[in-house]
């Protein structure tokens, strides 16, 4: 392949970007400000035990390597707690 037909770096980089499916919104450690209406733009605390001390505020679309998938039962408990709180 000749130099002239090679794509510039910005275009090659864009092709390597993939959508992150395991984001904070679907993580067991995410505590959104509004658990009843949370979406990927919602902000909340990360309560992962090693990160909790930092008081990290993340959005539902963020992600990290400590991701753990939330179960529907946990979502129900968080949402029920919002009604009681």
Is residue 11 domain-resident?
A: no
**C-alpha span between 60 and 26 (Å, rounded):** 8
- Count: domains in the chain: 1
Q: 40 in a domain, yes or no?
A: yes
- Give me the pLDDT at residue 2, please: 47
Q: How confident is the model at residue 11, as a pLDDT? A: 60
In whole angstroms, give the CA distance from residue 43 to residue 60.
Answer: 6
Asked if residue 6 belongs to a domain, the reply is: no
pTM, to two decimals: 0.68
Residue 66 lies in a domain: yes
**Across residues 3-31, what is the average pLDDT?**
70
Q: Which domain holds residue 78?
A: 20-84
Question: What's the confidence (pLDDT) of residue 31?
Answer: 93
For residue 53, tell me if it sits in a domain: yes
Q: pLDDT tens for residues 20-69?
A: 568 999 999 999 998 888 888 999 999 999 999 999 999 999 989 999 99
């Amino acid at each position: 392949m000749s130099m002239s037909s090679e794509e510039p770096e910005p275009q090659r980089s864009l092709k390597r970007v993939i959508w992150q499916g395991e984001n904070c919104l679907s993580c067991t450690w995410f505590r959104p400000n509004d658990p009843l209406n949370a979406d990927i733009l919602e902000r909340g605390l990360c309560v992962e035990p090693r990160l909790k001390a930092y008081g990290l505020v993340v959005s539902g679309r963020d992600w990290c390597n400590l991701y753990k998938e939330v179960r529907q039962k946990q979502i129900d408990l968080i949402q029920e707690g919002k009604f009681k709180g």
